[in-house]
Amino acid sequence: MALPASRATGTGERWRVGEVTGHDDAADEDQRERADGQLRNRWKPALGNAGGGARKIDNLYAAVSLHFMYYNFARSHLSLKNPYPRTPAMAAGVAAHVWKIEEIVALLDSA
């Protein structure tokens, strides 16, 4: 199996796989740490760690459900760009349009 030039260096039978020139592992680590910090800060109120928020498990379930509903139905993702705007629910075929916050709130009111 031939490896792409950016993923393999060497001559003949000896290959070193995984060395990509110009790739910065420190930048990847910084990006992972920043994403982790953002996620922790976003969930602090829901877990009751920031002086308010969900003290009861039902409130936590509601917060998580709203987050996933927004993420999958209302938030456009750049990685799903043909055609943009597009959500994961649209990509999966369970939604025909990008939902508005009002539509999600209407689901809560009807429940």
Share of residues in the chain with pLDDT > 90 (%): 24
What's the average model confidence in pLDDT over 9-24?
54
pTM of the model: 0.50
* Helices and strands in the chain: count of H runs, count of E runs: 4, 2
* pLDDT the model gives residue 83: 84
Q: How many CB atoms are closer than 10 A to CB 89?
A: 19
Give 8's contacts (C-beta < 8 A, 6+ positions apart). Answer: 15, 16, 17, 19
Run of H or E residues at 17: strand 16-17
Higher pLDDT, 26 or 59: 59
Cα–Cα distance for residue pair 31/87, rounded to 1 Å = 23
Over 60: is that where the pLDDT of 37 sits? Answer: yes
Query: Identity (one letter) of the amino acid at 15?
Result: W
Over 70: is that where the pLDDT of 54 sits? Answer: no
Higher pLDDT, 79 or 17: 79
